[in-house]
Structure 1
Amino acid sequence: MNAVAVAALLQVVISLGVTVFQIAIASGAPWGEYTMGGQNTGVLPRSLRIGAAVSAVIMLAQAGHYLAQAGVLTPLLSPDWNTVVNWAWFAFTLVGLIMNSISRSKKERNLWVPVLLVSTVCTLLVALN
C-alpha cells in the first residue's frame, strides 16, 4: 500500500471519529466546551446541535470520498472533479485547523488541533497525488 492510500485511510478513520463525535453532540452529549468555539458548557443549544448533525453528514461524505481515494470504493467523480474535491477537502481541513488553533476554548484547541493537523497533512498528501 502506498503513502497516498495510507493517508486516505487515515483520513477515513479521522472522518468517522469526527462523525461519531458530532452525532453524540447532536444527540445531547454535554461536550459543548469541545466544539463550536467552546462557548457553551454542557449540552449545546438546539440550533448548534442541528449544526452538529449537518457536520456529521458532511464528515460521512468525506469518509466516502477518501475510501474511493484509497481504492476501497469506486470513485463517483470524474478525475477532474475528483482533483477539485481533493483540494476542497484540504482547504476545509486547513480552515478547520486555523479556526480551532485560535479558539478561546483550551479544551477545543487541545482536542482538535492535533486531529486537524494530521487531517490537513493527510488531505494534502492525497490532493498532491
Structure 2
Amino acid sequence: MPFALALTVVLALLAFFQIVLVLGAPLGRFAWGGQHRVLPARFRIGSLVSVLVYALIAVLAWDRVRAIDIVPGVVAQISMWIVFAYFVLGILMNAISRSKPERNTMVPVTIVLAVLAFLIAMGYGELAMAVGA
C-alpha cells in the first residue's frame, strides 16, 4: 500500500500542476514540449485530460493493491503493466523534449512514477496488504 500511496501523492501533485496550467499559469516551459509560456487552448484541454488519466491510474493502483475493489483482479494487474509502459514512454518523451526545464523536471518525476507502477504491477503493494504492513 505504501507504493500506491506514493504514486497517488505524485499524481496529485502533477494534477495540481496541470490544473494550474489550465488556469493560465506561465509554466508552459515545463510541459507539452515547453514551447509555450502560457498554454494555448488545445494544450489546456490536454492538461485537463491528463488530470482524468492521473485519477484513473490512482484508482487502478489502489485496486491492484486490493485497497479497493472496482475491477477484477486480473484487469487491475494487466492495467498496471499498461500504466508502467505508459510511464516508460513518458520518460522517453520527456527526455527528447526541446525544453531543458521539462527534461530536468519531468524525466526524474516520470522515472519515479514508472518505478512505483512497476512495483505495484509486480504485486509488492498487494503483498504488503496481505502481510498487514
Question: TM-score under structure 1 normalisation?
Answer: 0.89
Kindly indicate whether residue 71 of structure 2 is the aligned counterpart of residue 77 of structure 1: yes
CA contact (8 A) 2:3 2:119 kept: yes
Alpha-carbon RMSD across the aligned residues, in angstroms, is 1.3
Q: Distance in 2 between matches of 1:69 and 1:78?
A: 9
| 1:110 corresponding residue in structure 2 | 104
- Residue in structure 2 matching 1:10, options 6, 9, 15: 6
Q: Percent identity?
A: 35
Kindly indicate whether residue 79 of structure 2 is the aligned counterpart of residue 57 of structure 1: no
CA contact (8 A) 1:19 1:56 kept: yes
Q: CA deviation at 1:9?
A: 1.2
Q: CA deviation at 1:65?
A: 2.3
Q: Distance in 2 between matches of 1:92 and 1:31?
A: 23
Q: CA deviation at 1:64?
A: 2.3
Change (3 A) 1:96 1:66: same
Kindly indicate whether residue 96 of structure 2 is the aligned counterpart of residue 95 of structure 1: no
Equivalent position SS for 2:97: coil
| 2:129 corresponding residue in structure 1 | none
Q: Deviations over 1:105-129 (max 9, x none)?
A: 1000111111111111110011112
Q: Distance in 1 between matches of 2:6 and 2:65?
A: 10
Q: How many residues are matched?
A: 123
Q: Which amino acid aligns with 1:67?
A: W
Q: Distance in 1 between matches of 2:57 and 2:88?
A: 14
Q: Which amino acid aligns with 2:52?
A: V
| 1:38 corresponding residue in structure 2 | 34
